Each structure stands twice: as C-alpha cells, then as structure tokens.
Structure 1
Amino acid sequence: MITAITPNPALDVTYEVDELLLHRTTRVRAVHERPGGKGVNVARVAAALGRRAEASGFLGGRDGRAVADLLTRIDPGIAQRWVPIDGTTRRTIAVVDAQDTSMLNEPGPAVTAGDWTRQAELLADGSGPVVVSGSMPPGSRPGDLSGVIAAARAAGRPIIVDTSGPLLHAAARAGADLLKPNRDELAAATGLDDPVAGARALLDEGASAVVVSLGADGMLLLLAGRPIRWTAAPARVLSGNPTGAGDAAVAAFAAGLDEGSAADAVGRAEALVQSLPKAVALSGAAVLSPVAGEVDLNTYREMLSRITVTEDEHAD
C-alpha cells in the first residue's frame, strides 16, 4: 500500500467563461470540480500503475467532504484515511477563457500539532511507502513533518518528501529516503545553483537520496555515499500541461519502493535507480494529459522504451 499524504489538499474548481471581465460581471458557462492536491495526484497515478494506494492528509468542512466524495467517484479503488480538522478545506479557482487561465488560490485551514500527531499515528499500522507532497497548511512547523518521517521510519516504511523551502532541510535532517525538489526549489533552499551541489548538500544533512526535476532536461538522481550521479531525459521535447508531472514522477518512485526487493537500504537504492527512467517517462506522459493526476499508460510505455540512463562520477 502506498500512502500519499496531502497536507494542504484543495477542492479544485474550474469556471469556463467566454471572457474574464475585471471589475465587471462575468457569466460562467460551465463549472467543474475535482479533488486537488499533489498527494492526491500521486495516489491516482500509483493506482493507475496497478498499485494499492491510500489518500491521506487533512480535510475539513463542506469542501473537505466534497474532495473525499469526488475522489471516491473518480477513483473508487483508492482507499481514503483522512485526518478530520476543525477548519474548512481550501479551494483553488481556475477561470478559463479563450485566451488564458487565471488562478485564485485560497490559503489552507490552520492545523494543530495534535492534527499532525494523528497523521503520524495513522502510519503505524500500515506497510509500504509513504509520500508527503505539497505545501504545508498554516500552523505547521518543520518539526511536524519530521514527526511524520520518524513515524514512517519507525514502522519500517520508506518515505518520499516532495516539498520546498526550509522543509526540505527538515526532511533531510529527519532521514527521508528520497527528496524530490525541482531545480528552482533546490536552488532556493540551498543557495546553490548547481543541482549536483544542491543535492549533495541535502544528502550531507541526512537524506538517503535526492532526485532533482530538471524540466525538459529530465531528472538527476544522487544517493548518499555513492559518488555517482544518474541522469535520464525524455527523447523529445514535450509541450502540454506540466501541473502533475512531478506528482507522476513521485508515483513512479513510490511504486519502485513498493517492491519486495526494496525492503532494506541496498534494495531501496537499487529500486530508485531502476525507477528513474520510469519517473521521466511517466512525468512526460503526465505533461501530455490535460488533467493532473492522469496519465496515458500507452504513451508512458512508448516513452519509456526510448529513455536511457547515464551514470557519471562526481566529486564526493
């Protein structure tokens, strides 16, 4: 079972309009609602790959119930084990007209230390990889994320963290099995423009592995204690919707760590290397999908067949 935690989920609402008229009345032609959040996307892609997946995180209020109900309707095979909170789950509003898309992102509801403790406790009776994806809601502290990582490690479950800023350092110091920043997030967190140097800095803090999304240049993987960098890139430049690309990549790594051979540190390291081309191909297939959290598996398999992995030594 892959447990995908979305600390700050959202009800994604899309308004279709002929033209967005600022400071005037705009009539909406159609309204669409979907369960939103990076961890939700990870769970959906993992399920599409044939893995048992569970969505978790913090939900509250009417919009929180809508997120859970919509996920049940869209992907009934995904288990759901949310932590109920007093606040109301946020909404993200996309206004789409003939020219462009305008976004309105609400702040998330505040969560307490007790909410985070309950989230960590849910990991004790499960097995398989844990993923924490996305921003943290108001009221969260770096120690809250560290507590979730500690709970996963105590249960013998590998944990992947996809976040940004100071939380990357907190996750590294807590011993996350894999961190997945993109190039800009890594530079902002470490102050280092070289992705290899930035990844090495997080490894030195305690992370077991770091994979860096490089956009059209693919991905870079480094492992603690290994003076090798692995790189993989798509065979062609892709254009489309990049929103869920990183989440699809995380799902690929989680699926790799869900294999029985990834039960120890050596097996996990090998699983991450083997998953690198799959992550690049799955990320590319997600770019070609108009909706985050969905991939065309035929496109994924076609892209995977043309991806090569390069190994190079780097200074330790």
Structure 2
Amino acid sequence: MITTITLNAALDKTYYLPSFSTGKTNRSRAMHSEPGGKGNNVAKVLHRLDVLVKAGGFVGGNNGQKIKELLTERGIAHDFIPVQGESRVCMSIIDEGKKEETELLEAGPYITEEEWVHLCRWVKRVAESSKIVTLSGSLPKGVPEDGYAKLIQMIQERGSKAILDSSGISLVKGIEKAPYAVKPNEYEIKQYVGKSTLSLSEFIDIGKDLINKGIQYVCISLGGEGALFITSQKVYRARVPELNVLNSVGSGDSMLAGLAAGFYKHLSDEEVITFASACGAANTLKSFAGEIEVSDFTRLKSQIKVEEVTTF
C-alpha cells in the first residue's frame, strides 16, 4: 500500500463566471468542489492508476468533513487525524471570457502540540504497513519546521520508503534525513540553492549532490521542458510532447504519484520517469488538480522521450 500525507488539506472550490470584476457583485455559472491539498491530489491519481492507496494527514471542521466525504465518493480510503481548527478553503475564480484564473488561498488551521504528537504516532503505525509514504506540500502553523524531517526518520526506521515534495526550510530539513526520493520543481531547486537562474548542468550537479547525501532518487520537474531523473548511476532527461494545456495546477502532484506508482511496481529507472512524466502531462489535459484519464496516461507514455544525458 502507498500512504499519502497531507498536513494542510484543503477543500478546493472552483467558480466559473462569464466575467469577473473586482469591487462588484459577481454571479457564478457553476461551482465544483474537490478534495485538495498536494497529498490528496497524489492519492487521487494513484487511485486512477489502480494502485492501493490511503490518504491521511490533518483535517478539521466542516471543511474537513467535506474533504473526507469527497474522497469517499471517489472510492479513496482515508484515515485523517482530526484537529480543532477548520481545514482551509482554496478558491479559484475562472473568468471564462478573459480565460483568467484568480486564486484565494486560506492559511489553514493551527496545529496544537497534542495534535502533532497524535499524527506522529499514526505515522509510525502506517509506516509499518505501507511500502511507500509520500509527504507533500506546506507545513501548517504549529508544526515544527523540521516536521517532515522527523516524519521521514520515523517512516524509514520502520522499513517504508519516504518520498518528499516540499519547499523552503521544510525541504532543506527533510533532505538532511535522506528520504528515498525527492521531487522538487525548478523554482524549488533555485530557492534551495539561492540562485535565480540555473543551467541544465547545474540542475544535474545539484541532483548529484543530493544523491551524495544519501537520497536514492532525485526527480526535478522542469515544467514544459520535461524532467530530470537522477540516480547513483545515471541521469535521465524526459521530454513531453507539446500539449493543449487546460490546467497546470497539480501536475507536480500527479508526477509524484507516477513516481510512487513506478517504485511500488518495481519498474526500471527509465520506466519510472516515463510513468511520472506521463502522469504529470495527463493532468494538464484536465480541468482540476490531481485528475487524469487513464487513456491519456496510456497514450502519453508512448510519446514521452527519455534519454540518458550523463553517467557518474
């Protein structure tokens, strides 16, 4: 089984308007709700791939209850730690006339020390029954900045593989515990090393450095330019075909799901990066984060080009 952890889950609401104007009354044509947060997006894609998955983390209040209900409707197993605060709402407003999207993102609940201890105990339990545990997204208020690092250690001490997808200090601290794999994007790597621009060779060198820190696999997503996949032996670059992109939000989460599924199925390195890239690309063809059509995924797998760019 794969367990996905979302510490700052969200109820994602998308409002569709013929036009949107600030300072005025706006009436929506339609509204769509999704169980959100990066780990929940990963769980949705894994479920689509018919991989046994359970979603977990923190949820609270009416929004948290709705997140669980929406996961249940999709047939996704879940086991969340309840918190006193209210899970956040992330709102997207789609101006269909201008084809523009405006986002309003809540901060989420404050996590008490008792709630954090409860989650740590839960992670220790699920790590014993999961082959892989994914850790995705921002840390909510109240969780220590080395929260992911602590969870990675718990997970890997119990024989499971931790995959980290975060940014900023939580990524830095998490890397120190050498998770099985990390999946930063281009911006997060630049932030990690404190540079505004990086060449392809510099991305590769940074990936090699992370491998030398004990991480087994490094996947750096480069948006429309594909992705780098770095192991202790080889570096691969995956290129995706040109697509009619409807939505790029959640493509990184979908790529993470593909990585986790590839590791879970014991695929070869080339197959893992192909799997991950096809999932990320398939998400861009859907209107909501963490959504793929299996037919798109299957078609795109044959169109992903993977090449070895260097060895070391």
User: Would the TM-score normalized by the shorter structure come out above 0.5?
Assistant: yes
Percent identity of equivalent pairs: 31
State whether structure 2 residue 226 is matched by structure 1 residue 198: no
**1: distance between equivalents of 2:280 and 2:190?**
21
AA of the residue aligned to 1:90: R
Which of 296, 299, 303 in structure 1 is aligned with 2:300?
303
AA of the residue aligned to 1:34: E
User: What are the Cα deviations for residues 229-253 of structure 1, in whole angstroms up to 9, with x where unaligned?
Assistant: 1111113355221112111111111
**2: distance between equivalents of 1:235 and 1:14?**
28
1:219 is displaced (CA, Å) by 0.9
AA of the residue aligned to 1:217: E
Which of 75, 78, 81 in structure 2 is aligned with 1:80?
78
User: 8 Å contact 2:57–2:81 — kept in the other structure?
Assistant: yes
Unaligned segments of structure 2, at least 5 residues: none
TM-score by length of structure 1 reads: 0.89
2:271 matched residue in structure 1 = 274
**2: distance between equivalents of 1:307 and 1:105?**
33
1:26-105 matches, cutoff 5 A:
26-73=26-73, 75-76=74-75, 78-97=76-95, 98-99=97-98, 100-105=100-105
User: What are the Cα deviations for residues 79-131 of structure 1, in whole angstroms up to 9, with x where unaligned?
Assistant: 11101111110001112222222111011111134433332322324222100
**1: distance between equivalents of 2:57 and 2:186?**
26
1:311 is displaced (CA, Å) by 1.4
**2: distance between equivalents of 1:206 and 1:118?**
29
SS at match of 2:29: strand
Greater displacement, 246-255 / 136-145:
136-145
SS at match of 2:271: helix
1:146 matched residue in structure 2 = 149
SS at match of 2:150: helix
Structure 1 residues 240 and 179: CA distance shift in structure 2, 3 A:
same
1:19 is displaced (CA, Å) by 2.6
Which of 152, 165, 168 in structure 2 is aligned with 1:165?
168
TM-score by length of structure 2 reads: 0.90
- Corresponding residue pairs, total: 302
User: 8 Å contact 2:146–2:174 — kept in the other structure?
Assistant: no
**1: distance between equivalents of 2:261 and 2:15?**
34
User: 8 Å contact 1:173–1:207 — kept in the other structure?
Assistant: no
1:89-128 matches, cutoff 5 A:
89-97=87-95, 98-99=97-98, 100-123=100-123, 124=125, 125-128=128-131
**2: distance between equivalents of 1:257 and 1:158?**
9
1:215 is displaced (CA, Å) by 1.2
1:222 matched residue in structure 2 = 230
1:256 matched residue in structure 2 = 262
**2: distance between equivalents of 1:274 and 1:246?**
18
